[in-house]
């Protein structure tokens, strides 16, 4: 058990609507949510929508929908930074008044030329402070030209800034490697640096758990807190998520926006379990943990400093495990919308709910995601199967033997009065000996004839669900295929 925080836990998830939420965003939300729930704290949702030019239509709705789908309920919010501009402007003015900030009149063209010149000298590009010590007369002259300045923070030119990270320990940055960063843009909107510090203070945030890409920004934030005379929250920077080839995540790793996983038929509980293990673990062997277990055991002490690895194959495996844990009734309820949408238009609608209830237990054992259900169940619903005679003979059976085997099978099945899984097995299993065929070859032949596939649910259960009429019809069709070609 981790040590108790000294103050009441209040954490926030603060996404920017500049894109749809991805794995990294939601992993951050989950760790904050688990931390809050473990300590009976509060989980605040804040939308950092001050980057007006990069806002993506529908992104806010996607963020809210994703959290609700995963059951990451928030206790407060959503707060929108775009509705809190007076707070940031007031703090920026305070910093100007107390000489912790200054007005900068440099144009984008000047900043780009500065950047290119520094790179040409093989120096790291940063603002050179040229507006830092302007006289009042120089400022008046620049303002007379109509330039609307930005507000920049005055970084200490010397010394070091040290802060404590709850995962990585003490971290120190040299101040001369940091530039005078922008606090307030010329349109009156704050930058991330100003807005998140102001809001974290005003919202009484106790702990900031965020991606490690913000680690290099933390000394700026620490100095801002210091300049404002505010107590900073505690920081914890979460490990990166890499692909299995240990490179930055991208679409080639099979990564999608979170709402795409929902559309593909992943379960919320399997996604929560999988995401929790991206940088955190209970021990070196436990992989399946439900929501209550995650809340009980979550602590920052178990968060890794090393990058986490996204493995889509593991996610699919885990989702399959969770699908098999569903009751048959719940699996039918979740699978039916995917089935209805994914089956061919030629399949008669509405689908027979009683028939679905017979089919789905056979599919539940094989599905990894709900989006696979239509493909796995296709042959149960179509009138005609599409397969080649080569597939029928793929078990190394010659055509003559296959034709005779199907003929004898048809005779036996037509004579059956009762039709069920056990009756079929009792009839067909001895038949392989009578035909002098291994069960593998014989049942493989029948499987292709009945399903059009070499891999399908158990043969006798499949035939029982399809019924006598359809099973006989498909065997006759297979026999005709072989007779026509051979």
Cα 416 from chain centre: 51
Catalytic residue among 94, 251, 314, 441: 251
Dihedral sign for Cα atoms in the order 332, 338, 342, 346:
positive
Cβ–Cβ under 8 Å, residues 76 and 42: yes
> What are the residue ranges of helices labelled H in 125-238?
136-144, 192-202, 218-228
**DSSP codes joined into one string, 255-277:** ---HHHHHHHT--HHHHHHHHHT
Dihedral sign for Cα atoms in the order 164, 169, 173, 179:
negative
- In three-state secondary structure terms, 427 is helix
Distances (CA, A) of 237 to 105, 114, 177, 233: 34, 32, 20, 13
Distances (CA, A) of 363 to 367, 380, 425: 6, 10, 20
Q: Please give the Cα distance from 215 to 453 (Å, whole number).
A: 53
Radius of gyration of the CA atoms of the chain, in A: 32
251 is catalytic: yes
> What are the residue ranges of helices labelled H in 211-327?
218-228, 258-264, 268-276, 291-297, 312-325
Q: Which helix (H) or strand (E) covers residue 25, if one does?
A: helix 23-38
Q: Please give the Cα distance from 76 to 43 (Å, whole number).
A: 7
Distances (CA, A) of 382 to 98, 341, 474, 479: 76, 15, 11, 19
Cβ–Cβ under 8 Å, residues 17 and 49: yes
Tokens of 140: 């008046």
Q: Please give the Cα distance from 428 to 424 (Å, whole number).
A: 6
Cβ–Cβ under 8 Å, residues 255 and 245: no
Decide the pairing of beta strands 42-47 and 10-13.
Answer: parallel
Q: Which helix (H) or strand (E) covers residue 477, if one does?
A: helix 468-485
Cβ–Cβ under 8 Å, residues 176 and 182: no
Catalytic residue annotation: 251
């Amino acid at each position: 058990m981790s040590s108790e925080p000294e103050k009441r836990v209040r954490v926030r998830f603060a996404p920017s609507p500049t894109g749809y939420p991805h794995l990294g965003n939601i992993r951050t939300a989950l760790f904050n949510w688990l931390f809050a729930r473990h300590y009976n704290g509060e989980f605040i949702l804040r939308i950092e929508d001050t980057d007006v030019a990069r806002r993506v239509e529908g992104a806010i709705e996607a963020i809210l929908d994703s959290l609700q789908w995963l059951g990451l309920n928030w206790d407060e919010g959503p707060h929108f930074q775009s509705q809190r501009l007076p707070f940031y402007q007031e703090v920026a003015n305070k910093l100007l008044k107390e000489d912790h900030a200054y007005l900068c009149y440099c144009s984008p063209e000047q900043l780009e030329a500065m950047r290119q010149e520094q790179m040409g000298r093989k120096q790291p590009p940063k603002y050179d402070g040229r507006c830092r010590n302007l006289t009042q007369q120089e400022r008046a002259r620049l303002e007379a030209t109509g330039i609307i300045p930005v507000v920049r923070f005055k970084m200490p030119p010397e010394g070091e800034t040290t802060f404590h990270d709850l995962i990585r320990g003490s971290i120190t940055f040299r101040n001369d490697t940091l530039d005078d960063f922008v606090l307030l843009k010329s349109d009156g909107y704050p930058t991330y640096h100003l807005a998140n510090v102001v809001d974290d203070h005003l919202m009484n945030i106790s702990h900031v758990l965020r991606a490690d890409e913000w680690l290099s920004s933390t000394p700026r934030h620490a100095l801002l807190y210091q300049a404002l005379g505010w107590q900073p929250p505690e920081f914890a920077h979460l490990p990166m998520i890499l692909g299995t080839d240990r490179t930055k995540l991208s679409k080639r790793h099979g990564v999608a926006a979170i709402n795409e996983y929902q559309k593909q038929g992943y379960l919320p509980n399997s996604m929560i379990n999988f995401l929790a293990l991206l940088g955190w673990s209970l021990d070196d062997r436990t992989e399946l943990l439900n929501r209550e277990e995650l809340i009980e055991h979550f602590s920052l002490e178990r968060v890794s400093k090393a990058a986490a690895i996204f493995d889509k194959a593991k996610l699919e495996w885990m989702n399959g495990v969770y699908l098999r844990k569903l009751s048959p009734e719940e699996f039918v309820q979740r699978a039916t919308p995917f089935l209805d949408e994914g089956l061919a238009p030629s399949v008669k609608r509405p689908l027979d709910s009683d028939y679905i209830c017979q089919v789905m237990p056979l599919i539940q054992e094989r599905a990894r995601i709900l989006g696979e259900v239509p493909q796995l169940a296709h042959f149960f619903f179509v009138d005609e199967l599409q397969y080649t005679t080569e597939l029928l003979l793929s078990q190394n059976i010659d055509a003559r033997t296959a034709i005779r085997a199907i003929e004898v099978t048809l005779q036996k099945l037509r004579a059956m009065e009762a039709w069920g899984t056990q009756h079929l097995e009792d009839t067909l299993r001895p038949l392989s000996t009578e035909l002098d065929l291994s069960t593998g070859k014989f049942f493989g032949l029948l499987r292709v004839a009945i399903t059009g596939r070499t891999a399908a649910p158990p043969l006798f259960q499949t035939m029982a669900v399809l019924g006598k009429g359809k099973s006989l019809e498909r065997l006759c069709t297979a026999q005709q295929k072989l007779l026509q070609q051979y």
